[in-house]
Each structure stands twice: as structure tokens, then as C-alpha cells.
Structure 1
Amino acid sequence: MAELERKIAELENAVPTTAPAAEAESDRAPNGTKSTNPTADDDTFWALNGLIDRAADEGGVVYTGHTTPPGGESPVSWQMGLPSAAINDLNFAEAAPALAALGHPVRLELLQAIYEGTTTVAQLGEDERFGTTGQIYHHIHALAGAGWLENSRRGHWRVPGQKIIPLLTLILIGTH
């Protein structure tokens, strides 16, 4: 846990604090196009500026990431996005199973431990935070049922590659 807190502190110190939305739009011309005046916000809002350049007035939402998981040999890259019109057509309730599976602190701690390399129930059972073997299996099956975990080989669990960036994105949202 101390390692995670240290990494978060490093990230917070390395990335400039984002400005409020009103300030983020202050470098926009009245017609909504980006001003040609370079500002400090160009570095802070590089992803947002790229989305605006690509999606223009239609708008959209994107999340993306590129990271090498602890103990991983290669980076995981992921991007997901939808135009605003497609988002407006979504039924938000359809997200409930995936989000509900993350709604218990022990499940988040299990996900973190598995993400960091503790992959078997026996290993997880050595940590008092996770409870009994039965409780661990209960949480693991709930997470696997929602797609947050998969059985990589007999008795070993992992966060699927296509779920690493979405998981880290949700953790970032929940902590900042």
C-alpha cells in the first residue's frame, strides 16, 4: 500500500493540477475552435485538445492508457471512446453489473493484489484483509462474472488485458 501511495504522490507532483472546466475552455475562440495562442493548458489538456480536434462540435468521451503492469513484460495500451450521440443512446443501467462488482472495498483490494502479481487464492488467503478462502472465492467469482478477472491457468487469476486500462481509469476517477 505504501508503494501505491508513493507512486500516486509521484504522479501528483509530476502532472500539473488541472484547471477548472471554465479555465480549460478559456483558450477557445468564440466559435468553439481552438485558439492558436499556446498556453500552459496545451500541455495540461493535451488529450482533451486532441479529442476536440478530432470530434469537433459532435463531441465525445474517450479514455486511454499505456502502462506496463507490475511484473509485466510488456506494456498494455488501450483506448475506448464514443461520440456524444452514441453515449446519449446508452442505457446507463447496463453498466450496473460491471460497476457493482467493484462496489466492495475487499474486491478492489483483491483486484489490486492480483494486478500486482498475487495470482492464486492460496497466496491471497495469506493476507488477512481478504478473509477466508470461501470469502475470497465469493469475491473472485463476482469479479470474474463481471469480466474484471479471468482464470489464466488452473488456479491462477489475472486482470484481462482489455480490462487493465478501464480498471485503472475507474481507480483514477475514484481517487481524484
Structure 2
Amino acid sequence: MSELEARVAALEARVAALEGDPRQTATSTGGIVSYSGDVYLAGDVTWSIDYSPDAVLDLPPDRAVEVLAALGHPVRLAVVRALLRGPAVAADLQAAVGLSSVGQLYHHLKTLTSARIVEQHGRGDYRLAARTVVPALVLMLASADIAGELR
């Protein structure tokens, strides 16, 4: 997803929230779950989303499980952390995450691209999709919170 597409998606989410989309507004029984961020790492990304807890529980689990599984491997998380700093070619990623072969790297990149976390631009050039920057950081922060690592 391009930066323009990410911005349009964010605007559509905000308009839906203002218009009372039931997926993105608090319910009288459930409250609201939200996250947002303004990130200036390899580029400027702004993202905000609000959902009712009931709507979150009603989301289909298949794609979420794929994303969580992709990020649940130490090497893949290291790749995502490296790409949060900016796009990289395969050789630089291989060195950054300490893999002995490019084949190992491509195995992990295939999982990350299948989960739509990482995008390939050109031959051997990888980056995080703009729409995944803030959610990936939120997942990293939330997992550290659950693990009791936040002060």
C-alpha cells in the first residue's frame, strides 16, 4: 500500500467514526479500543483506529493469526525492527539479523510478505508497508506490556 493509500484509509476510518460506523464507535456495553501514532522513522506515517471491543471480538481470526505467527519468530521480528528504520536490500537485512545464508532470509521474508507486513520493491529491496508501521510498533509495545517489560 502506498503512502497515499495509507492516508486515504486513515481518512476513511476517521470519517466512518464520525458518521457512527458501528465497527468503530463505542457501544453502550463495551467501550472502545483504539491506537494511534505519528511516526517519523524512515518516513512520516500517521495512523489512528478506534473499534468497539465487541467489533474486535467479531473480526475473523485467520489473517490476525497469520500476522501474529509471522511476528512471533525472533528472526522475523528482527527483520521488521530493521525495516522500521528504513528500506533495505536483502544483503543488508541478512547482515542486520545475523543470518548465515540468504536462503534463510528469503524464507522469513516470504512469511512476512505473505502476511502483508513487508513489501518488496524491486529486486531484493524490502520495506514495511506504510499501513503496517504504527500497528507493528503497537504490537511490539503491547507484547512488551503483557510481558511486564514496561516501566
Shift of 1:131: 3.2
The answer as to 2:111 corresponding to 1:161 is no
Aligned counterpart for 1:61 among listed residues 18, 23, 33: 33
Tell me the TM-score normalized by structure 2: 0.70
Q: In 2, distance between residues paired with 1:91 and 1:149?
A: 21
Secondary structure of 1:107's aligned partner: helix
Q: Is contact 1:110–1:130 with CA below 8 Å preserved after alignment? A: no
CA deviation string 1:127-166 (max 9, x = no partner): 4623310000000110010011001233210000000000
Work out which structure has the larger RCO, using CA pairs closer than 8 Å and 6 or more positions apart in sequence: 2
Instruction: Find the aligned partners of 1:87 and 1:113 in 2 and give their Cα distance.
Output: 29
Larger CA Rg, structure 1 vs 2: 1
Paired residue type of 1:146: A
Q: Which runs of 5+ in 1 are unaligned?
A: 1-53
How many residue pairs get aligned? The number is 120
Q: Does 1:80 align with 2:52?
A: no
| Corresponding position: 1:138 with 2:107 | yes
Give the 5 Å matches for 1:1-176. 55=26, 57-58=28-29, 59-69=31-41, 71-72=42-43, 75-117=44-86, 119-127=88-96, 129-176=98-145
The separation in 2 between residues aligned to 1:94 and 1:126, in whole angstroms, is 30
Shift of 1:64: 0.9
Identity of aligned residues (%): 34
| Matches of 2:120 and 2:54, distance apart in 1 | 36
Q: 1:94 to 1:136 in 2, by over 3 A?
A: closer
Taking structure 1 as the reference length, what is the TM-score of the superposition? 0.61
Distance 1:76 1:150 in 2: 16
* TM-align CA RMSD: 2.0
